Each structure stands twice: as C-alpha cells, then as structure tokens.
A and B are shown apart, each in its own frame.
Chain A
Amino acid sequence: MATLAVVLFGVLGPVLTPYDPIKVNMDRQLLPPGRAHWFGTDEAGRDLFTRMAHGARFSLGSAAAIIGLATAAGFLIGGFSGYLGGRLDEAVMRLCDLIMAFPLLILAMAIAIALGPGLRSSVVALAAAWWPSYARLVRGMVLILKEALYVEAARAAGAPAARIVLRHILPHTIPAVSSRVTMDLGFAIVASSGLSFIGLGAQQPTPEWGSMIATSRTFFMTAWWYGLFPGLAIFATVLGISLVGDALQDALDPRRRGA
C-alpha cells in the first residue's frame, strides 16, 4: 500500500500541484508548511511538495536502474560462469570476492568520483559494486540446475550453451532473484540518495531526495521542514518496499509460511 502510495505520489503529484519544481521564487523563501505549501518551501522559494513529487521519479527510477543493471549483469555473468565452469568460473568468482571485499557505498563513491559526479555515474557506480552478489546467487543455483535431466536432454539434443543457459536454466532462478530484488530496491534508494547527499549523485537543482536533504543542512536548524519531508519520503518508500518484499518472500517460500 505504502509503495503504491509513493508511486501514485510520484505520478500524480506533479500534476496536482500548480508549482514548478525548478523555478526560483525569491519572495517565498523558506516558508513553513501551510495551506499554500503543504511541506513548506526551500531557500529558493520552491514548493517542497512539488519538488518531492518530482523527486520520486529520480529516487525510484535510479534505484530501479541500479538493481536492473546489477541483476542483468548478475544473470548473464553468474549464469554463464556457472554453466561453463572451469577457469572462467574461477576467475569470475575471485573477481566477485574482490569487489565484495570493499564496503559497497565506499567502492561506489570511488567509482562515482572517477566517472565524474552526476546521477548517471552514481547509478553506474552502485550497479558496478552491486552485481557480484547477484552473480553469486545465480551461479549457485546454476551449478545445481545444470545437473538436471532436462538440461542434459537439451545438451544431448545439441542445443548451444547460450540457448541452454538463457532458455532452460536462468528462468528457474528468477523467483529467488526477484525476492532478493525487492529487498535490495529499498537499500538502493538509501544508497543512491546517500551518494547524492555527499555530492556524487544528482546535482542541484534536480529535485532528488538525497540532494534536497544535503542542501537543507545549511537551513535545517531554522527550517526543520526542509530536510524532514524528503527523509520521511525515503523512509516511507523503503519501508513500503521491504514490507512488500517480506510478504513476497513468505508467499514464494512455503517454508516461511506461518513461521
């Protein structure tokens, strides 16, 4: 429900409010929440409700892009690595170990600054730090699945490796990966807003939640509403997503039912 509300907020919010998320309005600086501005205004007189509604797109969108890229890479790399085995598999797994030896956000920070700050490089950086956990998950399942009789049958029928992996093996890994995805989406929102907060993600005046909180720091002691609402938005969104993820996991895994 909460997730649906945030998506609705992101889709309908921009339509519902009469204000512009970027345009500066100097005679309405830092107004507290009131009837005209539900969440108040920022230092440039912009309506925070409007900015947050527009920001939902950036925050949800970049989280989806991060996890989308990471799972795509995880499926392909983990799938083929597990299926083909041998030296390649060994090398890929050692690479995963290495990347996972770094704290995720710290590695992403290093990659993002090397690529140059911006929403796109923060997405790429987080995905680059994130894919190994998916590759490992997928590979582990592929190792078991590739011994299955139907895979052997496909191989005996002369199907090429690419077809076996993509058509016969990977689809079976989707349920497990998707329950992981719903958990990670929330973390991705926190992580990408974190990169924006330290100045490596979305740049002003883009109404991204993390960068809004970063700018609010200067005014937070006097204008409490400025940083409060974007943070609440992150909280509500991530909470909603992880509750959905929990429910999904319970539904997909019979062993967890009633536990």
Chain B
Amino acid sequence: MLPFVARRLAALVVVLLGMSLVTFVITNLLPADPARVSAGPHASNADVERVRRELGLDRPLYIQYAVYVRNLATGNLGTSVRSRQPIAAEIRRHIAATVELTLVAIVVYVAIAVPLGVIAAAHRAGWVDSLTRLGAVGGSAVAPFWLALLLQLVFYRMLAWLPAGGRLPLDVPPPPAVTGLFLVDSLLAGDLHTLGIAARHMVMPVTALALGRLGLTTRMTRAQMVLELAQDYVRTARAKGQAERVVLYRHALQNALNPIVTMVGIQTAYLLSGTVLVEGIFRWPGLGQYALDAIIEMDVPAVLGVALTSSLFFVLVNLAVDVFYATMDPRVRVS
C-alpha cells in the first residue's frame, strides 16, 4: 500500500510541474507588455525598462520559468494587480468556502445518485429508470448559473424559504476555525444552531452545482449495475437465497463501485468550474467569487492563481480516488 501511495505522490509532483508550465505559458500569452502594465500608463520608457529589470522580465524565458516554479514551490503566487496583496494569502482566505461547497455537493449527489442508479438497474424500464433517463439528459442541459438564478427567484424571492446567499448571516459568528469548513467546525464545537443555519445557506448553491451531475451519475451507476447483475456470482447469491437487497448493495454494488468512483473524481472538475459561475450569485465567499472579482478588474495573476489552486484541488481529489481504489481493490496495487 505505502509504495503505491509513494508512486502516486511522485507522479503528482510531475503533474504539478507540468501544470505550472501551462500557466506560465498562459502568462506569456498576454498581448500587453507586462512591464509596461506594472509601470503604469504614464511611465517613461526608462521607467518601463527599470520595472522590466526589477521583475526579471529581461532574463531568458527558461530562467523566468525557473524563478516562477521556485516561487510556486514556496507558495508564492505573485501579487494581485488589484489589491497589491500576495495572491496566496487572499486565496487562502477563500479556499475553505469552495472546498466545503464542492465536498458537500459531491456527498449530496453521490448519496442520491448511487441508490437511484441501483433502483433503476434493479427495475429496468420502471418509472425510476425512465425518470433518471430524463433527468440525465435534462440536467446536463441546464446552465448552472441560470439554475442558480432561478432557485434564488423561487426559494428566496417568491417563497422566502431560504437565504439569498452568503455562508452565514452577518449576526451569526462563524464557528471557531479548525478546518475552515463551517459544517464541520460547528459540529466540532457542538453548535447545532449554527450548523443548521450554515446548512440552510448551502442548499441553493449545492443544488445549482450538483443537479447537473446527478442524472449522469445515476445513469453511470445503472449501467455498471446492469453489467454486474448479469454476472454468475449474482445468480449464485440469489440461488443461495440471499435477500435481494443484500445481492444489490453488498454483492453487485461493491463490484460496480470502482468506475463510479472514477467518474465522481472526474466530475469534480465540473463542480469546480461551476463554483466560478455560481458562487458570485450566492455571494459565497470562495475561490469562484474571488475569480469573478479578479476578472472584473482584469487581475490576470489572481485569476491564474485561482486556476492553479482549483486544479490542484482537482488533482488531489483524483489522487484520493486512486488511493481509495487501491484500498478497495487489490488488483490495482499490483499493476
């Protein structure tokens, strides 16, 4: 098990290096001369040259890249054009909100999609099956930002059931920070009142993010389950007189789980993309909101910082998926 994890971690370093190369190339796509931009609109040519030297932009590209990687390795994402603050510090303030939103979205849609998929596979052509088929096609056609606005219109404006946005109302102090995830922290503090309020604030953002993924994951689960249910061991289990529920969940689902977990890992990319679209609408103070503010002010380094951070999160989720496999399925460890 340990060598496996070590191998994956080594591969992770290579991936991170490569990702830094991609963002470095993107920084150099800028049509404007970065030295001139930093020097300001009224700088003389001599000033621009001085700034160019100060920023190291006069050096060859490969040295600039080496400096860039060294900075990234020490957690330095550069300085925000807008606030003149270190981007890494600003991102650190926003990251927990996005991680919480994304993780809760994953848990919620998996908890709904997997049982639905099992039911759809067990009763093929039944009403659950038809419904999830519709949901899969329909769900992926909805633009998440539009869904977010509709939810806000219906559940905040018309019905007044849910708060319009934010993580907590202004008059509710956040729970003592341990993980930065309000649900976990308030649970740790034993503060069920705050937990409830925080959960109510998550309903709409989580729905807007996860609804599109729900149908697809249900269909994927169903497809895997259909394959497993046709296997001999299922017939054996049934012949032994096992309860159908045990056959479905203990025998078939456990074997169908691997591809489903892979899919969920990959789907995290959609959720993270979705946070950029949705957080702004719900004033959710995460990376997406930060990116949105940065875009309005054309703060390119800050946007690249967000891109790197959320991609890192994506890569880590998939690493967790790999490790999960290896613990579940001994065959993976060997290959």
Contact = CB atoms under 8 A, between A and B. Distances in A.
Interface of A: 94, 97-99, 101-107, 109-111, 113-117, 186-187, 190, 193-194, 197-200, 210, 213, 216-217, 220-221, 224, 227-228, 230-231, 234-235, 238-239, 242-243, 246
A225 B326 CA distance: 51
Contacts of A116: 31
B272 interface: yes
Interface stretch (B241-249, B250-258, B274-282): B274-282
B22 A99 contact: yes
Interface of B: 15, 18-19, 21-23, 26-27, 29-31, 137-138, 140-147, 149-150, 152-153, 157, 268-270, 272-273, 276-277, 280-281, 291-292, 295-296, 298, 300, 303-304, 306-307, 310-311, 314-315
Interface residues of B, dominant DSSP: helix
B311 A200 contact: no
A191 to B, nearest CB: 8
A197 B19 contact: no
A239 B152 CA distance: 23
Contacts of B304: 110, 114
Given A94-B18, A98-B18, A115-B31, A103 B140 contact: no
Interface of A is mostly: helix
Contacts of B18: 94, 97-98, 101
Contacts of B276: 105-106, 109, 194, 198
Given A98-B18, A106-B310, A221-B157, A200 B295 contact: yes
A109 B143 contact: no
A253 to B, nearest CB: 14
A231 B292 contact: no
12 contacts: A97-B18, A105-B273, A106-B273, A107-B311, A109-B291, A109-B307, A113-B295, A186-B141, A194-B143, A227-B146, A231-B150, A242-B140
Contact of A102 (B144, B157, B311): B311
Contact of B295 (A94, A198, A213, A217): A198
Contacts of A200: 295
A94 B15 CA distance: 9
Q: Pick the 10 closest A-B CB pairs, nearest first.
A: A231-B146, A105-B273, A103-B269, A238-B141, A110-B307, A239-B141, A98-B18, A114-B29, A102-B311, A103-B272
B143 A231 contact: yes
A198 B280 contact: yes
Contacts of A103: 268-270, 272-273, 310-311, 314
Contacts of A107: 22, 307, 311
A217 B157 CA distance: 13
B319 to A, nearest CB: 11
Contacts of B26: 110-111, 114
B141 A235 contact: yes
Contacts of A227: 146, 149
Contacts of A106: 269, 272-273, 276, 306-307, 310-311
